Amino acid sequence: MNTTIETLLAHRSVRHFTEEKLTDEQIETIVACAQMASTSSFIQAYSIIGVKNPDTKARLAQLAGNQPYVEANGHFFVFCADLHRHETAGEMEQTNVSPSLESTEKFLVAAVDAALAAQNASIAAESMGLGICYIGGLRNNIEEVGEVLGLPDRVVPLFGLAVGEPAQETAVKPRLPLSNVYHQEKYEKNHDLFKKGLDEYNSTISAYYSGRTGGKRTDRWTEQMSGMLKEPKRMHMKPYLEKKGFMKS
Amino acid sequence: MNTTIETLLAHRSVRHFTEEKLTDEQIETIVACAQMASTSSFIQAYSIIGVKNPDTKARLAQLAGNQPYVEANGHFFVFCADLHRHETAGEMEQTNVSPSLESTEKFLVAAVDAALAAQNASIAAESMGLGICYIGGLRNNIEEVGEVLGLPDRVVPLFGLAVGEPAQETAVKPRLPLSNVYHQEKYEKNHDLFKKGLDEYNSTISAYYSGRTGGKRTDRWTEQMSGMLKEPKRMHMKPYLEKKGFMKS
């Protein structure tokens, strides 16, 4: 096992950071690594906003549902799907690219591009001994977040990434059984076998929470998921994306 | 600079592989690394299909627009957005989770989760000295690809990942100027400055292609992009996703 694989396998989200700020050199290395991720047909359809200003961070923390680690960290990145640059490219080449940019296909391309870049950023940070936490909560009030960051049309914030020196040891959380996620040749059709895998995983996760809370928490994974999914959330996403010029067709 | 950052910065897509197949141990390590990526609220909303069967690979290569490296590689992975598992979780907990699963928000969550996992897989592979190439071409005929892989409702293929031993040296491709991708505090509002960055990048990319083709190719990046984007592509994505139970609201 090489050190990169050790880093990947040791991932856990960090939500408590020391007061140490990232240096500009660290930030530049993280962004350079993000930029080297694969990108669909070289489209590079994302932007990253780096936030240091304490007032901006406090506002984003509030908009994300009062998550203190959006404010208290070593640096805060916001990863955006960005097709504004391609609108500009079309302008520079006197070509109408709008119908293409407005397709669901291109939104997917931009979201995947942004995620690949963010994961490279995360791994670069973790390889330096820093901790990270993705912040999907920015989508709770996505329109306001876009305003705070001054995002033009065709640019939307997808998620944040809090980075910093870990102030607390956290445990690696066990993932779904491999057989439930990795299918050979075809998707597993045996529904009983599939459920059996989830049953076993429920026991694993119950034991994990119980061990960490002295028996206070024992939630099963399927219980967590159905609890989280019983009420639809962030139903403003579709109209917001359309308003910003995405997924019109 | 540590070896993980060296690996990240050395990325280039590999499209020619030796005949050497990945071992089961390599595949398991790559999948284990994929699974350790961050996941939105622990939802783990993706599946990976591993394809070894030569006939299946040949069929996928054809569906992806006759890309030979979909067939000729050391292993082929297909990364899918997967909310079928959560439908099952709801069933097991007697909770109706369908309205939530059908939201645009949850499709985005699943697509980002799949991309984070895929990028971990890519980096794990590259850290072992293997090469990788993402295959968005699977979306050219996404419905047929889903049928070949036996994907149930609420599971859609997003992209493939060809992995193998590189048979050819390829060069690292220069990315957009950092100032064009990384914005401090707010998105760059000076459109002339933004365009100037793209102009400079055009020269970089022209020189890159010219150097690699002995002057035969000199395309600017904005020219490439506007050429690629002038005709909308894969306009079947929206109806297909809706048909498979995604993004209905």
| CATH class of the domain whose range is A3-171+232-243 | alpha beta
Task: Decide which of A131 and B168 is more confident.
Answer: A131
pLDDT of chain B along its 249 residues, tens only?
899 999 999 999 999 999 999 999 999 999 999 999 999 999 999 999 999 999 999 999 999 999 999 999 999 999 999 999 999 999 999 999 999 999 999 999 999 999 999 999 999 999 999 999 999 999 999 999 999 999 999 999 999 999 999 998 889 999 999 999 999 999 998 999 999 999 999 999 999 999 999 999 999 999 999 999 999 999 999 999 999 999 999
Percentage of residues of chain A with pLDDT beyond 70: 100
Q: Which of A88, A111, A127 is opposite residue B4, by nearest beta carbon?
A: A127
CB B160 within 8 A of CB B64: yes
A11-59 residue pLDDT tens: 999 999 999 999 999 999 999 999 999 999 999 999 999 999 999 999 9
* CATH 3.40.109.10 domain extents, chain B: 3-171+234-243
Name which of B11, B29, B38 to mutate to probe chain A: the one with the most chain A Cβ atoms within 10 A of its Cβ: B38
CB A88 within 8 A of CB B85: no
Report the pLDDT value the prediction gives residue A169, as an integer from 0 to 100.
87
Tokens describing residue B160: 């493939």
Q: Which residues in chain A have their CB less than 8 angstroms from residue B36's CB?
A: 8-11, 172, 175
- Give the contacts of B52 (CB within 8 A, at least 6 positions apart): A184, A185, B21, B75, B76
Q: Cα–Cα distance between A237 and B243 in angstroms, integer? A: 19
Q: Cα–Cα distance between B204 and A91 in angstroms, integer? A: 20
Using the beta-carbon criterion (under 8 Å), do B175 and A132 form an inter-chain contact? no
Report the pLDDT value the prediction gives residue B169, as an integer from 0 to 100.
87
Q: Where are the alpha helices (DSSP H) in chain A?
A: 3-9, 24-35, 54-63, 68-71, 84-92, 98-101, 104-127, 142-148, 178-181, 191-213, 221-229, 237-243
From the list B23, B60, B49, the residue with the least C-alpha distance to B117 is: B49
Quickly count: other Cβ atoms within 10 Å of residue B243's Cβ: 13
Specify the CATH number of the domain B3-171+234-243: 3.40.109.10
Number of A/B CB contacts below 8 angstroms equals 357
Report the pLDDT value the prediction gives residue B1, as an integer from 0 to 100.
87
* CATH 3.40.109.10 domain extents, chain A: 3-171+232-243
Mean pLDDT of chain A: 97
CB B203 within 8 A of CB A69: no
The residue assigned the tokens 């350079």 is A32
A58-81 residue pLDDT tens: 999 999 999 999 999 999 999 999
- Given the cut 0.90, state whether the ipTM is greater than it: yes
Using the beta-carbon criterion (under 8 Å), do B35 and A176 form an inter-chain contact? yes
The residue assigned the tokens 């994306």 is A241
Q: Which of B4, B50, B119 is opposite residue A3, by nearest beta carbon?
A: B4
Q: Does the structure show a pLDDT above 90 at A172? A: yes
Confidence of residue A90 (pLDDT cuts 50, 70, 90): very high
Quickly count: other Cβ atoms within 10 Å of residue A128's Cβ: 18
Using the beta-carbon criterion (under 8 Å), do B123 and A120 form an inter-chain contact? yes
